[in-house]
Structure 1
Amino acid sequence: MSVDSDIISTLTQRAKQRPRRIILPEHGDERVLQAVCRLASNGAVVPVLLDAPTTDTATIPDNVEIFSRRSDAAQWRDRAAAELFARRAAKGTTAEQARASLDNPLLLAALLVGLGYVDGGVAGSVATTADVLRAGLHGVGLADDAHQVSSFFLMALADGRLLSYGDCGVIPDPDAEALADIAIATAAGHQRLTGAEPRVALLSFSTRGSAQHSKVDKVREAFDIVRRRQPSLRVDGELQFDAAFDPIVAQKKAPNSAVAGAANVFIFPDLDAGNIAYKITQRIGGAKALGPLLQGFARPWMDLSRGCSADDIADVAVIASLLGD
């Protein structure tokens, strides 16, 4: 079995144990409809569409929920409009404007996620990342312990190991507080998806004071913040990648470290490093990269690449299901 099929099969089997309701608002996209059919067939997720597709509706399985056909759809729209007004009134949004905004399917779906009508949402096969993030911020909102949205990749290595890389897709140059947020959120996401205890390495071009620079200071400060906020989390930094990944190097560079040589969560100091690293791991190392998986929202709200396949959409829906409460 390939790396791709092995990790997806494992995640799908786990999701089947407790299928969550995941909304996919871009029902006009044929790829979304294909993904919905796959999900409805394998039972990993209970897929929800805002409305029936305008063509070929007979291809949608009977066990796919169509929100607009529910007898209480109007009441849920009323609740969504009231919630949006409550969140945006201070910004000058009127009640009428809030209701009119629900014509945006992404925003309506995000509000239904935020209200708990569904367990999570997946969008972005048609909409831009900026639109998906905006809808998520307005509709789902941030988790209580989050200060911003970031992302991580679940990396399935060719030898079967699972690593998490953050942030590789959202925040270009996080400060120490943001880097600590990314570390804590990525550790939680890694544990939910893999079941393994997270061992977090805050990466740098320095290990334990081998270099002095303001960028190194940022990583050290982030480490202190993580330790203060999550004292039970196994974390170390600053560490170079080889010290974090290779046990032999770790013995030389960071003896007695809680994670050096055995890290499974790697936190990069900026988006340059993270984005380059995951692509090298994927293209040269032959790893399967699942993501970027958005984190920091109060409930799972996932973005897609507009070049995604139907299988990609279904896979992200499975991950959204597993990242739920």
Structure 2
Amino acid sequence: MTKEKTKWKEFLEAISVLQLVLSFLFLGVACYILIVYLMFTSLWPLSALYFIWLVMDWHTPERGGRRSLSVRKWRVWGHFRDFFPIKLVKTAELNPNKNYIFGCHPHGIMSTGAFACFSTESCGFAEAFPGVKPTLAILAGLFRIPLFRDYIMKAGLCPVSRPSLVHLLSKNGKGNAVVIVIGGAAESLASAPGVNTVVVKHRKGFVRLALEFGADLVPVYSFGENELFKQVIFSEGSLSRKLQDLFKNIMGFAPCLFVGECLAFLPYRTPITTVVGSPISVPQRVTPTEEEVDHYHRLYMEGLSKLFHEHKVSCGLPESHKLRII
């Protein structure tokens, strides 16, 4: 029998989730404002010294960053996990003497399941996959934001840029699992309750990278991710959708119009189950051919579809639900 939560526990969970949502939306802008504001006060030397440090430290995010186990183990992440709750499901063993590229789907509004399972220790990844170190790759532009970049590096996040991914797969030893939310901003615009759409059919860069470094491909699906927020989805070809796409192409992320269950920003308490599929063995090819890329890309899509259909019922979806791959 599940133990009933106290009001205090529910409050801690809500605050933990709210702080992450507000950080996702506003912390980067707040860091910019703070650093510029300090330049016009008597504390201007702090800004000057930080900018000197920033120049010296510019390439650190693409060289593995500065992961902090203590930050990944903050108690706040346990409350964050319990709010929904979020669960990590293992379906196969991973060899710690190999490297992996995890393709995580769907993006949702904030990739909540991916963050909890791969950027914190709250869901037990280290216990489930001993010897394998997950690194969630996110928008490279976020690592150019002063102060904010240092915070997200502590959680073990890295830029989803080629130099960063190459470093992790070739210069960081074995047992690395690079987690890429393949659908990115385009997939976030399709996020809505009841929708199971992934954008991967024409995205093959991650497969090419896997072949170059002999990293096995692992499909991952977070059931419940699209249920956290209700989003206003504009029809293809409408002016509003064209503006969203224009913003996405310029900035790299999509301006989603969404609302949660409480205070607009607090998501619905919907369980998220992040299922890590079986690895797809990939040979190393320094210069992979298009035929090889297409072959392993097709195997990946088949593996993702199989993962979805094998686990959808146990994760709360009706048998009739299908996975739409675009």
TM-score computed with the length of structure 1 as normaliser = 0.29
TM-score computed with the length of structure 2 as normaliser = 0.29
